[in-house]
Amino acid sequence: MNKNIHMIKIPQLKLFGYHGCYDEEKEKGQTFEINMEIAINMSEARDSLKEVLDYVSVINKIKKDFIDCKCDLLETLSANLSSIPFDLLKGMCEKDFRIEYVTVKVKKFSPKGMDVPYIQVEHIRYAN
């Protein structure tokens, strides 16, 4: 297969959630920022939503999973979110279309106990 990489970027998706190790974080919640990059290898260009990854579906699934699954650690949250594009493509059996990897960055602002503006965890999930 030719290497013809398209990089889909979903930047600065701000979501309110109840993730964290501390009771205060779990009770009061806070704003997080999600950044996702999806590297797709396509042997030829496509021009139909039926033939590509639908970005709206990815964002909607990020929002749903972010709310439904409360995590203590940003590492767990970012790993969970990184599986979304792969899961959405199950059933698309195109031999010349595949996700190479997904990068997810989860940013928490004003983290408790730290004198920094934010803490960020990045997770990279490669195709099997």
Reported as a single tens digit per residue, the pLDDT across 74-96 is 999 999 999 999 999 886 655 56
Q: What is the signed CA dihedral for 113, 63, 69, 79, rounded to 10 degrees?
A: -70
Q: What sign has the CA pseudo-torsion 83, 87, 90, 96?
A: negative
Do residues 44 and 96 touch, judged by C-beta distance below 8 A? yes
- pLDDT (mean) for 15-25: 93
Q: How many residues comprise the chain? A: 128
Query: How confident is the prediction for the chain on average, in pLDDT?
Result: 89
List the domain range (segments joined by +) for residue 104. Answer: 5-126
What's the CATH number where 98 sits? 3.30.1130.10
- pLDDT (mean) for 103-110: 94
Does residue 40 sit in helix, strand or coil? strand
pLDDT at 49: 60
Total domains in the chain come to 1
Instruction: Check pLDDT > 90 for residue 38.
Output: yes
Q: How far is CA 98 from the centre of its chain?
A: 17
Closest alpha carbon to 28 in 107, 112, 119, 113: 112
**Helix, strand and coil in the chain, % to nearest 5:** 30, 40, 35
